[in-house]
């Protein structure tokens, strides 16, 4: 289809604007301006703002799945793969400082709007949660794998929120270091199952 390119450009621009400025704060004009098309043309592709949000979430889901698959292939051990997740805080630190975590901030905004696409946005978190859960199970923590996954997710969310508020690079570095150390202990079987993911 020859319309694929324009549609993709719209979704791409919307994705970025939603992340940088928030879903509600982004207008059709903002998106149309970014893609350099008219508002009328915009409506040829998306009839409502909710339609484009759905499309953006779909793209994010696909991109996330691809990223997790990549980590799966690249990491030789479960610990190494979990480390890939933890280290996106470093890789994306510039964006995180400015705009927070794209997944966390979208879910927070949609919760306040009581938006119909909340479940789809939560599914974005679920991808990470299930993937991490699988890795912890492979590490021999079958019984508390999900709790450990949620703990790692919570840590990274908290770090993203505070890094965004305080604009602090060193804080990210420090917390990632601690998560790495913690993960090494888990991988060595030094953290008891009875107290999963207890912070030391």
Partner DNA sequence: GTCTATACTGAGATAGAC
Partner DNA sequence: GTCTATCTCAGTATAGAC
Q: By CB under 8 A, tell whether 25 contacts its own copies.
A: yes
Pick the stretch among 53-61, 70-78, 107-115, 131-139 that binds its own copies (CB under 8 A): 107-115
Q: By CB under 7 A, tell whether 177 contacts DNA.
A: no
Q: By CB under 7 A, tell whether 59 contacts DNA.
A: no
Q: By CB under 8 A, tell whether 79 contacts its own copies.
A: no
Strands (E), 9-141: none
Residue choice 3, 114, 188, 190 for contact with DNA (CB under 7 A): 3
The site partner of 157 among DNA, its own copies, none (C-beta below 5 to 8 Å per kind) is its own copies
For residues 71 and 35, what is the distance between their CA atoms, to the nearest angstrom? 32
Q: By CB under 7 A, tell whether 43 contacts DNA.
A: yes
Nearest to 79 by CA among 137, 147, 126: 137
Pick the stretch among 39-47, 79-87, 138-146, 190-198 that binds DNA (CB under 7 A): 39-47
Query: How buried is residue 167: exposed, middle or buried, by Cβ count under 10 Å (0-12/13-18/19+)?
Result: exposed
Residues 114-173 that bind its own copies (CB under 8 A): 114, 121-122, 125, 147, 150-151, 153-159, 161-162, 164-166, 171
Buried (b) or exposed (e) across 142-155, using 16+ Cβ within 10 A? eebbbebbbbbbeb
For residues 18 and 22, what is the distance between their CA atoms, to the nearest angstrom? 4
Q: By CB under 8 A, tell whether 13 contacts its own copies.
A: no
CA 95 to chain centre: 12
- Between the alpha carbon of residue 15 and those of residues 31, 36, 73, the distances in Å are 9, 16, 27
Q: Residues 79, 139: contact at Cβ < 8 Å?
A: yes
The site partner of 39 among its own copies, DNA, none (C-beta below 5 to 8 Å per kind) is DNA
CA 14 to chain centre: 16
Please give the residue ranges that form the binding site for its own copies (CB under 8 A). 20-22, 24-25, 98-100, 104-105, 107-109, 111-114, 121-122, 125, 147, 150-151, 153-159, 161-162, 164-166, 171, 174-175, 178-179, 181-182, 185, 191, 195-200
């Amino acid at each position: 289809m020859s319309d694929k390119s324009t549609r993709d450009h719209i979704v791409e621009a919307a994705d970025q604007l939603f992340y940088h400025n928030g879903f509600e704060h982004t207008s059709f004009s903002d998106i149309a301006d970014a893609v350099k098309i008219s508002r009328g043309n915009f409506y040829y592709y998306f009839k409502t703002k909710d339609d484009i949000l759905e499309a953006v979430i779909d793209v994010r889901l696909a991109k996330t799945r691809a990223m997790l698959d990549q980590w799966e292939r690249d990491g030789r051990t479960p610990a190494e793969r979990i480390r890939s997740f933890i280290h996106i805080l470093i890789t994306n630190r510039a964006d995180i400082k400015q705009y927070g975590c794209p997944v966390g901030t979208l879910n927070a905004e949609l919760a306040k709007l009581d938006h119909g696409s909340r479940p789809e946005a939560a599914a974005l978190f679920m991808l990470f949660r299930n993937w991490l859960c699988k890795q912890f199970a492979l590490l021999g923590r079958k019984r508390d794998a999900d709790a450990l996954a949620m703990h790692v997710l919570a840590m990274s969310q908290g770090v993203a929120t505070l890094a965004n508020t305080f604009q602090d690079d060193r804080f990210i570095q420090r917390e990632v270091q601690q998560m790495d150390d913690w993960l090494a202990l888990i991988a060595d079987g030094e953290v008891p199952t009875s107290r999963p993911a207890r912070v030391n």
